[in-house]
Chain A
Amino acid sequence: MSMRPDPEDPGLILLEGVCPVEEAESLAAHLLANPGARVDWRACTRLHTAILQVILRLRPPLRGPCGDPFVARWLDPDAFT
């Protein structure tokens, strides 16, 4: 389980567990199709570079902190909002 819309809030995408490279495309497609969509990455345990790149480019509002300790530790949350 890695990327799914919140069942109670369709405008919120949940990133959970390991988020692998293949999901970059669906995440990008979803964010482009739903400009107001937000991302909750608190339950994500490991983020692939490609996913981070999508977030960096499309800058959805983020609900954090990121659950991936490396991202939380080293990357500046301001860079993503």
Chain B
Amino acid sequence: MTGRPVDDLLEPFLAEARELIDGAAEDLVALAAAPGDGARLDRVFRAFHTLKGSVGLFDFPPFLALLHAAEDGLAAARDGRAGSGDDLADLALEALDAASRFTDAIAAGGALPPGAAQEADRIAARFRGGLAPRAPSALGPAEIPDGPVPPWAEALLARAEPVAPGSPLVALLYRPREDCFFSGDDPLGLVRGVPGLLAVTVAPAGPWPADQDPFACTLAIALLSAAPRPEIDAVIRLVRDQVTAVALVAPAAPPPPDLTAAILREQLRLAAADPGEAGAGTREAAAATAANALRAAGREAAARACRFAATEGGEALAGRLAALLDAPDAPSGPQYQPDLAGGQEAAEAEAAEVGRPLRVEAARIDGLVALAGDLVAARNGLAHLAARAEAGEAAAALAPALREAEARIGRLSGDLHRGLAALRLVPLAPLFRRFARPLREIARGLGKEVVLESEGGAVGADRALVDALFEPLLHVLRNAVDHGLEPPEARRRAGKPEAGHIGLRAQIVGETLAVTVSDDGRGIYPERIRERAAALGLHPPGTLAAMRDAEVIDLVFAPGFSTAERVSDLSGRGVGMDAVRASVARLSGRVEIESAVGRGTVIRLLLPQRIALTRIMRVGIGDEEYGLPLDAVVEAARLPRERIRDLGPGAAALLRGRTVPILRLADLLGLAPAPAAPSGEALLVVLRSGPETIAVEVDRFGERLDALTRPLAGLAATPGVAGTTLLGDGRVLVVLDPPGLVAAAVGHEEDGR
């Protein structure tokens, strides 16, 4: 992977690979919903086949092996030699997931990620195993570096349920934040959703404090899972910072001692003899005997597994007993692989972003080149004007031509910026596809069925925005499945299809990107929210009673509202919704909710599609200058002071037939009063925000300009400030936020009364 010619091939390969992977993933998700679709299956097969051919040009044997096995498995399904249902779709998606990560790693560092060989082997083995769930890995323990296994992970292995020796396992130590209950987390609730569990322990993280607060979480939860790492990551994504992960390889379970084995064999015979309902008594007795024998042999986890299997039926118990008796005899201690996922993954992702090639249609580039050409022509016009000025032409004569040149350059540079910003727009489809798997996992963990239907994947938005949308959207989707959708039997009773329907839609309305998550679940009961809000003291009961239902439902976003699981259980929604609203607000967006009892809930995320140029009006107060976004400015007016009526603490004037309160901008911003005596004329900027209209008095009106407004982290908390923009002379102009000003003005008025 070093020679130049190979590098030249690499870039087109990476672009092609990403397209093939995205396309195949889309087909697979559809295939999972309609397993009989032969054309789609064929397309997926061809995508793997083409990708395999391309990967063969380079030296990545594990990548090639992965694709080869997937191609074989898909060919078997296509020819009817194997089923093409859920299992195949899941496994093929897993293979695509791996392929996508391999591709990213190659783009970032020219090599496969650590552990790629093991992962490829594991997936390939499952394809070869005729899609049997988790065939034992072909991987030899020698491939894994030795290392100490942390004691907590060792304790988990000791109590884990039997699993094929050599299978890759993941051990997690989850130390929830102490205040996690307040943000609506239920750490065990999260662990319930982890696939492939083999063992779980819950213990105090340290000595109990003398006056333990029941609402402070001081537990350490350890768990062991046989599921692939990405599936686990999808579940723990939101608490990633609180989790330590260790990759392990399952040690060989010692075969049960002879006496225990004899007892188990006897119980297996009993359980298998009568697996039906009639055998329930026999089954329970057999399970109890087996469990006692196992416990006596120090196999606590296996004992619990037997008891649990008995509740699931005769076949489950027989299978469990047979597995225990089958435990192969391969002496090997637990092996350890350091967890490389954390920091390195982030660094790789960043590197991938920097070096990521952008595919752009030629026509768009041509348009931008033409714009740049126009800009050069406009600059030449300016040079001509400069020459005329140098030749001594009067400023007044030159001014109109200069203004015209300025306007033209302004228009062209605006167009150029918009065109370039559009290049950064990426379609939402890949983001939407990332939800398919976690959502199925979540639903499966809850015993629910869900159909995710997405629409508008072709809609484009700024790449940074698309990346930042993953977490809030996952949160909303998880809520919809967990709390919005009823369990299947409740849905049946309500006359709905058993599988819940979740819609994920994107559309552009003007300059706004609207992403909508809808469910056809139970909806939110406004009365329950009123009760809860009253109990929490968010509003007095009288106020709540007077609020419209829509306003009441919006309270699920109130900070602190959704800490209680009960709310979500009764009302259908609530866990951590304030976090969703906060992260959307950080993207300069907002969240809306609508709900109909019994019919479902719709949550809409409204975001700026791109970082936009805003037209700004400069105003001066004393020595200071500020910008006001023109879209909120109704008009700028000069008003004789005698027309301003003093109303005690405030002032107002009749403007265009309506009374408008007037406030000094200097007062609103907390600036020192202007030293100069007020002139006979007041300069007013009339601002509108929603239904409110106010006029702010300034000392000077300034020019209007197009500016790129950036929110400033440090100023985010300052009410009335939207952000800053850089002026032509290098100075920074603070851009005000009219809704914030209006709110502050309304507050002023009320304070004054």
Tell me, rounded to whole Å, the shortest Cβ–Cβ distance linking A28 to chain B.
4
Contact of A53 among B159, B200, B219, B304 (CB under 8 A): B219
A53 near B192 (CB under 8 angstroms)? no
Number of A-B contacts (CB under 8 A): 74
Q: Does B300 contact A (CB under 8 A)?
A: yes
The count of chain A contact residues (Cβ–Cβ below 8 Å) is 24
Q: How large is the interface on B (under 10, 10 to 19, 20 to 34, 35 or more residues)?
A: 20 to 34
How long is the Cα–Cα vector from A72 to B305 in the complex, in angstroms? 10
Q: Which residues of B contact A18 (CB under 8 A)?
A: 565-566, 569
CB under 8 Å from chain A, chain B span 204-227: 204, 208, 212, 214-215, 217-219
Q: Is the CB of A74 within 8 A of B197?
A: yes
Judge whether A22 is part of the interface by a CB distance below 8 angstroms.
yes
Closest Cβ neighbor of A50 among chain B residues: B181
Chain B window 299-314, contacts with chain A (Cβ cutoff 8 Å), 1 for yes, 0 for no: 0100010001000000
A52 to B566, CA, bound (A): 16
Interface string of A46-81 (1 = CB under 8 A from B): 011110111011000000000000101111100100
Contact of A28 among B192, B201, B214, B218 (CB under 8 A): B214
A6 contacts B by Cβ under 8 Å: no
Q: Determine, out of B30-38, B46-54, B183-191, B365-373, the stretch whose residues face the partner at the interface.
A: B183-191
Given contacts A28-B214, A48-B186, A79-B203, is CB(A20)–CB(B566) below 8 Å?
yes
Inter-subunit contact B192/A70 (CB<8 Å): yes
Q: Is the interface of B mostly helix, strand, loop or mixed?
A: mixed
CB closest chain-A residue, reference B212: A57
Q: Would B186 and A49 count as touching, CB distance under 8 A? A: yes
Is the pair A73, B214 in contact by a Cβ cutoff of 8 Å? Answer: no
| List of A residues within 8 angstroms of B187 by Cβ | 49
Partner of B300, one of A49, A57, A76: A76
| Contacting residues, chain A, for B564 (C-beta < 8 A) | 20-22
For A50, give its contact among B201, B204, B217, B300 (CB under 8 Å): B217
CA A54 to CA B181, docked complex, whole Å: 13
CA distance A50 to B634 in the complex (A): 54
Nearest-Cβ distance from residue B486 to partner chain A, whole angstroms: 14
State whether A52 touches B565 (Cβ < 8 A).
Answer: no
Q: Measured between C-beta atoms, what is the minimum distance from A46 to chain B in Å?
A: 8
**Residues on B with beta carbons closer than 8 Å to the beta carbon of A75:** 200-202
Most buried by A among B192, B199, B201, B214: B214
Separation of A28 and B211 alpha carbons in the complex (Å): 11
Contact of B569 among A20, A54, A57, A74 (CB under 8 A): A20
Q: B189 near A53 (CB under 8 angstroms)?
A: no
Nearest neighbor of A27 in chain B, beta-carbon distance? B214
What are 22 A-B residue pairs whose CB atoms fall within 8 Å in the complex? A18-B565, A21-B564, A27-B214, A28-B214, A47-B188, A48-B186, A48-B565, A49-B188, A49-B219, A52-B202, A53-B214, A53-B218, A56-B203, A56-B219, A57-B208, A70-B188, A70-B192, A72-B308, A73-B304, A76-B159, A76-B300, A79-B203
Enumerate chain A interface residues (CB-CB to B < 8 A). Answer: 18, 20-22, 24-25, 27-28, 47-50, 52-54, 56-57, 70, 72-76, 79
